[in-house]
Amino acid sequence: MQPVNPLRASLGLAILLLCAAAPAPGQPEGDRLTAEQYIQQWKEVAVRKMKEHGIPASITLAQGLLESGNGNSLLAREANNHFGIKCTPDWTGGKSYHDDDKKNDCFRKYKDAAQSYEDHAKFLQKPRYASLFELKPTDYEGWAKGLKKAGYATDPAYPQKLIALIERYRLSDLDRGVDVSYRPKEAAPKPAPAPRTGRNNRGSGGDVITIGASRAIERFEGRIKFVRAKQGDTYRKLAEELEMTHGMLARWNDMDKEAALAEGQRVYIQPKRNASKTAATHTAKEGESLWGVSQQYGVKLAKLAQYNDLPENARLQEGQRIVLRKPKR
């Protein structure tokens, strides 16, 4: 017999998020937490759990945001349960009953929300999640997909929802020891429109933002952040400016951390993707390398090498067809 999954299914997730759409009984509308306020309130706890248990703080916070509706759901308000964990036969703590997969489903109830965070960390120590701890602590995409694969949630879009939250609120910074903070919304200046010169902002395929007095941060295909290298830039210099580690920045661009940067070169400041969003293939031009194609389409070099049965340092022949997505078997 399969063990009962103590986490709610996608239908239950929808129900609890609908509950979060309205204030809890007796809760004034103005008391509802925004995502930014929730992160500010719980980021230190998430980082502490990361150090104690090895679970990325970004994943913990993203799950908390999603499962509790920014801490506003009835389950979070009434039971301090921020992760939708249900009662199991060995649970001896408090209980709270809500309609979910069935009427009056039993959910764990905690004395405070911090206890919910600790129980969540312990819950992920179960054997079925063991493979997650073999991932790099900065691999939030792997963790998000691994949670779904291990049965944490039945919603097929669960990994994408977690990844979207992590990237929207820069939660992966916490995994690298970099703090995150947000301006009050009323004080945030209205972003300037992205410059348009011919083909959609120099081929970036997305918006352009500027952090402080720093350089412009663009989005390739609207999803992968990158900057343009300036004359004299190095990975170390860029990393200091962007408050990152230069080794990680170089890895995201499939280069040695001491490699030189050419003026105008696209430098991704978050991991490239496993496949191109807009194109299925690329026809090589004279002198191109597989790495160059990887940078052009924002696809991980190792994936391109795998899809095309080529070494990562391959030089391409003019007219050679390069597959940009995993071939269908």
Q: pLDDT tens digits, residue range 253-274? A: 999 888 888 888 999 988 899 9
- Residue 10 pLDDT > 80, yes or no? no
Are both 38 and 78 inside the same structural domain? Answer: yes
The more confident residue out of 62 and 240 is: 62
- Do 146 and 219 belong together in one domain? no
Q: 205 and 159 in one domain?
A: no
For the cut 60, the answer to whether the pLDDT of residue 192 exceeds it is no
128 and 107 part of one domain:
yes
Residues in the chain: 329
- The encoded tokens of residue 227 equal 């900057």
- 26 and 123 assigned to the same domain: yes
Which of 27-36, 90-99, 231-240 shows the lowest per-residue confidence on average (mean pLDDT)? 27-36
Please report, for the domain that includes residue 289, its CATH number: 3.10.350
* Domain carrying residue 207: 194-268
* Statement to judge: residues 119 and 163 lie in one domain: yes
325 near 288, Cβ under 8 Å? no
pLDDT for 61 beyond 90: yes
| 243 vs 271, higher pLDDT | 271
Structurally, how many domains does the chain consist of? 3
Helix axes 140-149, 57-68, angle to 10 degrees: 50
Quickly state the pLDDT bin for 239 (edges 50, 70, 90): confident
Question: In this predicted structure, which of 73-77, 246-250, 299-303, 313-317 has the lowest mean pLDDT?
Answer: 246-250
φ/ψ of residue 296, rounded to 5: -65, -40
Same domain, 219 and 288: no
Instruction: Say if residue 39 is in the same domain as residue 156.
Output: yes
pLDDT attached to residue 16: 37
DSSP state of 190: P
The count of other CB atoms within 10 Å of the CB of residue 231 is 8
Q: What are 232-235's contacts with CB under 8 Å, separation 24+?
A: 233/261, 233/263, 233/267, 234/258, 234/260, 234/261, 235/259, 235/261, 235/267
- Are 49 and 149 within one domain? yes
The predicted-structure confidence for 276-293, as pLDDT tens digits, reads as follows 988 999 999 988 999 999
Percentage of the chain beyond pLDDT 90 is 47
91-107 pLDDT, tens digit each: 899 999 987 767 788 99
Question: Which residues are CB-contacts of 52 (< 8 A; sequence separation ≥ 6)?
Answer: 121
